Amino acid sequence: MVDLELGGETPDVAADGVWLACVECRETVAPYDDVVYRCPDCDGLLEVRYADYPTFDDFEGTGVWRYADALPLEEGVSIQEGNTPLYTVPEIEAGVDVADVRVKHEGMNPTGAFKDRGMTVGVKVAERLGVGRLACASTGNTSAALACYGARADTEVLVLLPAGKVAAGKIAQAALHGARILEVDGNFDACLDVVAELAERGEAYLLNSINPFRLEGQKTIGLEILEQSRAATGEWPDRIVLPVGNAGNTAALYKCFRELVEAGEMDEDEMPALTGVQAEGAAPMVEAVREGNDEVRRWENVETRATAIRIGNPVNAPKALPGVRATGGTAVAVTDDEITDAQRALARDGVGVEPASAASVAGLRKLSEQGEIGSDEQVVCLTTGHLLKDPDAAAAAGGDTTDVPADADGVLDAL
């Protein structure tokens, strides 16, 4: 049974008030003595735990490292990640029956996706551990971020991608930043199986979201949403709607809220309802939530044009499912056409995102139509990647071009 309770005595294995704890058996592990991703006793997922949890008064500065007191290190390998905008979206808000809608656009990070928040922490931990090669499996955004931050840290990067299934913009980023790119004959989950085996053999340091340090950086999304929402509306949001691939952000946001409760900054009933959205062709988390299952059933065959969430075995489900339920959230599946419609709607409000990002807005629309979201709710939709991550999808979602002669009359005739 998953145990996500914080608090308790600081174990002897802690370093500077930081340690790792298994969410299954509560075994504690030293954070920096050895490279470890799962519990050595039961193979459960690990979480970073702290002797003390900060309040909002402890934070200063900007970006991810504004929240250094809530992170395992005082500084990271940084390229000014975080501090992404919280946009109003008037057209989208007018089309749903809720009190207020904002969009937290993580595509405004340095490499164009939320993954940078995890890499600024994870790559710095890798430096402390003294590893020589970083690695990940990726649907694209993870590889781009790891390649970029690995380059900044002057460390070799290996990425495994599902052949023919990754958007061109993301491959270009990883290549330009100097990663060694291997295209695997299989889907993302097969790539993760392979790279995890390489990590277990000591061939590389794994920086997928199974790495607990990566999720520490991602939890700063939640801290920013809370601070920005309160500054904009005077209140914390009632609900956060987010795309779900490997469920890392869902797990990270829930951890953010639990830590604020532990610090006395938030009551449990104030935690925003975490609401996950997946594409219909890749919806194992939705299946588990809707059926009331304690575990996610791996989908071997997944397909959606939202490539960033084309994942059939979300590794962080054991952390994420309790978060959805404890916060009073839910999960919903949307069609690819609904995702594209939401992408166009975001564009009309001036927010350019890749397809997977638009899943959050598509999910909000569907849940509003179904009456599963209250009309008095303040909602934040998380968009995770920039429009230019997948230019082919953006072009397909946009309007057609028109050929005209090279003179003003020809242009006016076309208009």
CA–CA gap between residue 159 and residue 119 (Å, rounded): 14
Number of other residues whose CB lies within 10 A of the CB of residue 140: 31
Number of other residues whose CB lies within 10 A of the CB of residue 82: 25
Residues 6+ apart with CB under 8 A from 291: none
Residues 6+ apart with CB under 8 A from 357: 106, 107, 243, 308, 343, 346, 382, 383, 384, 385
CA–CA gap between residue 364 and residue 370 (Å, rounded): 10
CA–CA gap between residue 58 and residue 69 (Å, rounded): 7
396 carries a ligand binding annotation: no
Residue 226 is given by DSSP the state H
301 carries a ligand binding annotation: no
247 carries a ligand binding annotation: yes
CA–CA gap between residue 248 and residue 136 (Å, rounded): 14
- Classified as helix, coil or strand, 181 is strand
273 carries a ligand binding annotation: no
CA–CA gap between residue 256 and residue 277 (Å, rounded): 20
211 carries a ligand binding annotation: no
7 carries a ligand binding annotation: no
Residues 151, 157 contacting (CB under 8 angstroms): yes
What is the number of residues in the chain? Answer: 415
CA–CA gap between residue 282 and residue 273 (Å, rounded): 22
141 carries a ligand binding annotation: yes
Residues 208, 137 contacting (CB under 8 angstroms): yes
Annotated binding site: 141, 245-249, 384
Annotated binding site for pyridoxal 5'-phosphate: 141, 245-249, 384
